[in-house]
Chains A and B, each alone.
Chain A
Amino acid sequence: DTGVSQNPRHKITKRGQNVTFRCDPISEHNRLYWYRQTLGQGPEFLTYFQNEAQLEKSRLLSDRFSAERPKGSFSTLEIQRTEQGDSAMYLCASSLDWTGDYGYTFGSGTRLTVV
Chain B
Amino acid sequence: GNSVTQMEGPVTLSEEAFLTINCTYTATGYPSLFWYVQYPGEGLQLLLKATKADDKGSNKGFEATYRKETTSFHLEKGSVQVSDSAVYFCALRVQAAGNKLTFGGGTRVLVKP
Q: Looking at the complex, which one of A42, A93, A104, A108 makes contact with B42 (CB distance below 8 Å)? A: A108
Counting contact residues on chain B (CB < 8 A from A), the size range is 20 to 34
Taking the closest CB of chain A, its distance from the CB of B10, in whole angstroms, is 11
A101 at the A/B interface (Cβ < 8 Å)?
yes
Distance, CA A41 to CA B106, complexed state (A): 6
Counting contact residues on chain A (CB < 8 A from B), the size range is 20 to 34
Cβ contacts B95-109/A at 8 Å (1 or 0 each) = 100111111111000
- Given A100-B93, A109-B43, also A56-B106 (CB < 8 A): no
Cβ contacts B18-50/A at 8 Å (1 or 0 each) = 000000000000001010100000111110010
Cβ contacts B53-83/A at 8 Å (1 or 0 each) = 0000000000000000000000000000000
A45 touches B95 (CB 8 A): no
* Chain A residues within 8 Å of B49, by CB: 101, 103
Distance, CA A24 to CA B101, complexed state (A): 19
The A-B contact count (CB < 8 A) is 59
Taking the closest CB of chain A, its distance from the CB of B88, in whole angstroms, is 10
Q: Looking at the complex, which one of B98, B103, B104, B105 makes contact with A55 (CB distance below 8 Å)? A: B98
- Given A42-B105, A100-B93, also A108-B99 (CB < 8 A): no
| Residues of chain B whose beta carbon lies under 8 Å from any beta carbon of chain A | 4, 32, 34, 36, 42-46, 49, 51, 89, 91, 93, 95, 98-106
| Residues of chain A whose beta carbon lies under 8 Å from any beta carbon of chain B | 4, 31, 33, 35, 40-45, 48, 55-56, 91, 93, 95, 98-101, 103-109
